Amino acid sequence: MWSQNKLSARLNIEYPIFLAPMAELVTPELAAEVSNAGGLGALGMWGFSLEEGVKRIDHFRKLSDGSLNINYPLWDDPGDLDATGIPMRKKIQTLYDRGKLGVIPAPYASPGQVLPDHLDALKEIKPELVSFHFGLPGEHIIEELKSAGICVTSSATTVAEARTLEASGVDFIIAQGLEAGGHRGTFSNADINMQSGLFSLLPQVVDAVEVPVIAAGGIADGRGIAAAMMLGASGAQLGTAFLRCDEANVSDAYRAGLAYAKEASTVITDVVSGKYARFVKNTLVEELSDPRLEPLPFPAQYNLTLPLGEPGDREFTDLLSGQSVAITREMPAAVLVHTLVGETNKCLNSL
């Protein structure tokens, strides 16, 4: 049975189907519905204080006694921003003017990291999995999490990154293909034009490492999960597909952007946030995609562009999305998990 393997056993889940941690877009209800249906729910700490994050985890625990993944995207403090991105800031101001949003704030950003009080909280909460994006934190953090019995993973966008993660002691590796929605998890400055789609990346990562590999990028139905399992994956992580679920905290403008997108609607760009990520292309992306306008360092650029979507216009909303958005479906999360399992069974049995 495809669903019973080392990965599902280690994480105590019925099906190795992972909800991607997607910051504030994932509600505790969404994570709980996925875990209760036998998959792995996830809650990201991006954008939340420790107190807020713990509240969300408590909420999840009230709704589910299933397994949980807690996620930390990691990035350095971009430092002094005063003199950065002046032409870009002028351009963004014209978009603020169009939306009657006033004067753009001075650029600001704080680092994404696992602070000591977070580590203490994680060791107390003991989620089944702590996942990272954009690399790994310091060695002692990995060691302490693992000594507390918590599994650790991160995303690799190349075979070399997968090898680095394995050598650093992760329990599993997420192979993130170029189709993926959201930010590229790359942490080795891998050239964006040289990164691979999942069909090519996944078997090469599987061949290169001993630990179980989770496939991510463009998987939206059971055909995708079955294909990933055939290519050697032990599980699949889906982001865009879960954004369409009733329980996701996704605005009407964002939902409409996803509903109308086709297979050729998305683009990878760094103009929205300062780091490469895949979005449904809209006016926001088009207006900022000018080679003369260098984006501010991540996430300062994001902090300036996100308010443009607040009035609810989908042309100015950041529409993070993977390439398979057009085959995603609107349904409750538990129904999606069961549908994915049924479709995967059907595909694999028909072989």
Ligand X SMILES: Cc1cc2nc3c(=O)[nH]c(=O)nc-3n(C[C@H](O)[C@H](O)[C@H](O)COP(=O)(O)O)c2cc1C
Kindly list the residues in this chain that would bind ligand X in the complex (CB under 6 A): 20-23, 25, 44, 46, 71, 73, 131, 133, 176, 179-182, 216-219, 237-241, 320-322, 324
CB of 64 to ligand X, least distance (A): 20
Q: Does the bond joining 28 to the residue before it have cis omega, within 30 degrees of 0?
A: no
How far apart are the C-alpha atoms of 190 and 347, rounded to whole Å?
Answer: 34
Note whether 84 and 296 are within 8 A (CB).
yes
Minimum CB separation of residue 114 from ligand X in Å reads: 14
Report the amino acid identity of residue 298. F
Q: Which is nearer to ligand X, 309 or 322 (CB)?
A: 322
How are beta strands 182-183 and 277-280 bridged, if at all? antiparallel
Of 84 and 266, which CB lies nearer to ligand X in the complex structure?
266
Q: How far is the CB of 106 from ligand X (least distance, A)?
A: 25
Q: How far is the CB of 71 from ligand X (least distance, A)?
A: 5
Q: Residue 25 or 129: which CB sits closer to ligand X?
A: 25
Phi/psi of residue 218, nearest 5 degrees: 75, 10
Q: Which of 14, 20, 10, 13 is nearest to 42 (CA)?
A: 20
C-beta of 309: minimal distance to ligand X in Å? Answer: 13
Q: Which is nearer to ligand X, 202 or 241 (CB)?
A: 241
Closer residue to ligand X, CB minimum distance, 295 or 322: 322
Task: Tell me the CA distances in angstroms from 32 to 35, 56, 61, 63, one per residue in order.
Answer: 5, 11, 8, 6
Q: How far is CA 306 from CA 33, 172, 328, in A?
A: 28, 32, 24
